Amino acid sequence: MVSPRVILIGPPGAGKSTVGAMVADRLGLPFVDTDALIVQEQQRSVSDIFVVDGEETFRRLEADAARRSLDAETVLALGGGAPIQDAVAELLAGHRVLFLDVAIADASGRIGFDQSRPLLAVNPRATWSRMMTQRRPAYERLATWVVDTAGKDVETVVEEVLAHVTKVDHD
């Protein structure tokens, strides 16, 4: 069965989009990011969908985007909240799922908490921390591998992800 070489999960600021694109490039594979796919297909921003149609609509689009992205050989980044949905979590069984872990100290510096992340529009640091406490058990349960990105630059994280992917390719 054809499936993504690796699926990246983790909270906003973990580096899923940045690291995922670079890993895909190094592997010579297409990079798919469910957030970007939704934006492209809907022709509007994630924030716009949240504000105009509500989170429930976004989650439905996201689950659908994830479902359609699982049967191709790519590097796949899921939106931060995607694997928290039971419907998406169930789809991940049997796939290589890599949790990019990050703590608030690094995440806050990375994402700057601008308005592009609708869930973090109010009290961004406290909201991120609360969200991560709730989500961490799911990220850990679904992951077949974890890379802690704390204190590591993007290139170091990319190398760690590539090392893992190459190793499991040969196992």
Ligand X SMILES: O=C(O)C1=C[C@@H](O)[C@@H](O)[C@H](O)C1
Ligand Y SMILES: Nc1ncnc2c1ncn2[C@@H]1O[C@H](COP(=O)(O)OP(=O)(O)OP(=O)(O)O)[C@@H](O)[C@H]1O
Task: Give the other-Cβ count within 10 Å of 168's Cβ.
Answer: 14
Tell me how crowded residue 159 is: count the other CB atoms within 10 A of its CB.
Answer: 14
65 is in an annotated binding site: no
CB of 37 to ligand X, least distance (A): 11
Provide φ and ψ at 53, rounded to 5°. Answer: -105, -15
CA–CA distances in Å: residue 123 to residues 33, 36, 39, 105: 26, 25, 25, 15
The verdict on whether residue 166 carries a ligand-binding annotation is: no
Q: Examine residue 117 and tell whether it contacts ligand X (CB under 6 A).
A: yes
Stretch that binds ligand Y, among 8-16, 56-64, 126-134, 161-169 (CB under 6 A): 8-16
Please select the residue that binds ligand Y; options are 90, 114, 153, 171, rule is CB under 6 A. Answer: 153
Q: Report in angstroms how near the CB of residue 114 gets to ligand Y at its nearest.
A: 10
| Angle formed at CA 12 by CA 37 and CA 75, multiple of 5 degrees | 45
Residues that bind ligand Y (CB under 6 A): 10, 12-18, 35, 79-80, 110-111, 117, 149, 152-154, 157
